[in-house]
Chains A and B, each alone.
Chain A
Amino acid sequence: MPIALLTALLQSTLVASIRLFGVSPDLHILVVVTWVLLRGRREGMLVGLIIGGVLDALSAAPFGTLTASLALVGFMAGFGEINVFRSVRFFPLVVMAIATLAYYGVTSVVIAASGHGLVWGAALWRTILPAIVINTLCMWPIYGLGSWLARRTGPVRAEWEA
């Protein structure tokens, strides 16, 4: 709970002011995906719901958009738990790239459907694709940090070594 709240607040203050290739890293997606991969789908989705709820209160998007998007991200990332490629070192990066695409897909559709003008081409080239790249690159240190914390704070999950 404190990590989820801290993530939401960091995302809307510090992280949102960092711009790499015109976009800010999505700390909320990174945390949810990392959580799911390390602690399982159930916990991850719960974290996603909490972070999404706080972010929805701070965002101009229709209420519930970010909650639903992060819950979906948590659900989708959960397939990584049972995937045979789980032991591959760059597997978290692949999951992150897919999760970011799913997140932006849902939020874009909801924002556009709510009447908020969205220039699809510009959104794709200037926001979604750079966000996928940035989030995937950021996943490396975040997942490393998450793994380290998980080893120290909770039971170690059985994993196949590469």
Chain B
Amino acid sequence: MKAFRIRAVVAILVLAVILAWLVLDQTSGPNPVRDAFSRIASPVQYALKRLVSPLQELFAGGTHWFGLAAENEALRQENAELRNQIILLHEAQIENENYRRQLDFKSAVPNYRLLSAEVIGRDPSNLLEYLLIDRGREDGIAIGMPVLTASGLVGRISEVSASSSKVQLITDSASSISVLVQRTRTTGMVQGVPGHSLVMRYIPQDADIAVGDIVLTSGLGGDLPKRLVVGQISSIRREDVDVFQEAQVVPAVDLSSLESVMVLLNFSDVSAEPEPTATPQS
């Protein structure tokens, strides 16, 4: 009976508290019970949140880990492909610029029938300066045809096979070209020197030549057309005891990094036609 009374009192008290809570909650003013509870609970909630938060992230990440390796690999692959595309685009840009220069040159010299060719190899011996190009007899190439770029003369065809040809560079020690100095029309011979350089010989002692003068083909001898740029004088050697002066000539074309060239197919006809007046632009 006593226990029943106690339970009844407790139940009445609980109901009274709930009723009071509801009444207080409905009023517009602050709920002091809620406020008191909040003051106690907030720090505990905050601490618990700080404690649980990393664990939550870890758990959320853990479910994602299974896909990370595959995603990483896919991204790596995509990155490699994009890098490759950038390299190819850069190559295409360089090739495009090269072709544009060749095209400009072709339009500057309409009398020249030029055939573009790619450099596919070089002479394996350091003593010889030759190139191997991917055009041959089947493309109409013949021995002796001049080979050039938009910057100037490269050399001459020395050997032809069905689909490739060898080009003797102007810097080969057996190469000899009849030239003239553009400013003063002084003539001489340009010969190749090992190490991609040129020397102009047989310049008369009294001839007016200076460092920086442009050297062009003279056309004498008939083996090369006139007015192709050969190079630029870089130094002069003049000795009183010598009959002739000598000049070092820097080739107009960077022969060490050639990738494509043009072969002049109709050179033999040029002598019968009016000479083109355009000088190739470097």
Q: Which residues of A contact B123 (CB under 8 A)?
A: 12, 16, 58-61
A116 contact from B159, B174, B194, B195, Cβ within 8 A: B174
The answer to whether the Cβ of A82 comes within 8 Å of any Cβ in the partner chain is no
The answer to whether the Cβ of A111 comes within 8 Å of any Cβ in the partner chain is yes
Interface contact B124-A16, CB-CB below 8 Å: yes
The answer to whether the Cβ of A17 comes within 8 Å of any Cβ in the partner chain is yes
CB interface residues, A 92-114, toward B, < 8 Å: 104, 107-108, 111
Interface contact A58-B132, CB-CB below 8 Å: yes
Interface contact B121-A127, CB-CB below 8 Å: no
Q: Which residues of A contact B130 (CB under 8 A)?
A: 59-60
Name the residue of chain B whose CB is nearest to the CB of A19: B256
Q: Which residues of B contact A58 (CB under 8 A)?
A: 121, 123-124, 132
Extra pairs beyond A12-B132, A107-B127, A127-B195 (4, CB < 8 Å):
A12-B123, A24-B126, A58-B124, A59-B130
Closest Cβ–Cβ distance, residue A66 to chain B (whole Å): 7
Give the CA-CA distance A66 to B120 in the complex, in Å: 20
Q: Which residues of B contact A11 (CB under 8 A)?
A: 124
Question: With A58-B123, A60-B123, A127-B194 in contact, do A122 and B173 touch (Cβ < 8 Å)?
Answer: yes
Give the CA-CA distance A19 to B176 in the complex, in Å: 23
Interface contact B121-A12, CB-CB below 8 Å: yes
Q: Which residues of A contact B176 (CB under 8 A)?
A: 117
Q: Mark B145-177, 1 if CB is under 8 A from A, else 0.
A: 000000000000011000000101000011010
The answer to whether the Cβ of B128 comes within 8 Å of any Cβ in the partner chain is yes
Count A-side interface residues using an 8 Å CB cutoff: 31
Closest Cβ–Cβ distance, residue A68 to chain B (whole Å): 13
Q: Which residues of A contact B168 (CB under 8 A)?
A: 60
Interface contact A107-B125, CB-CB below 8 Å: yes
The answer to whether the Cβ of B193 comes within 8 Å of any Cβ in the partner chain is yes
- Chain B interface residue bracket vs A: 20 to 34
Interface contact A59-B194, CB-CB below 8 Å: no
Closest Cβ–Cβ distance, residue B180 to chain A (whole Å): 22
Interface contact A119-B193, CB-CB below 8 Å: yes
CB interface residues, B 238-271, toward A, < 8 Å: 256-257
The answer to whether the Cβ of A8 comes within 8 Å of any Cβ in the partner chain is yes
CB interface residues, A 110-140, toward B, < 8 Å: 111, 116-119, 122-123, 126-127, 131
Question: With A17-B256, A60-B166 in contact, do A119 and B194 touch (Cβ < 8 Å)?
Answer: yes
Interface contact B125-A61, CB-CB below 8 Å: yes
The answer to whether the Cβ of B106 comes within 8 Å of any Cβ in the partner chain is no
Question: With A23-B126, A59-B128, A107-B127 in contact, do A13 and B194 touch (Cβ < 8 Å)?
Answer: no
Give the CA-CA distance A111 to B126 in the complex, in Å: 12
Q: Which residues of A contact B101 (CB under 8 A)?
A: none
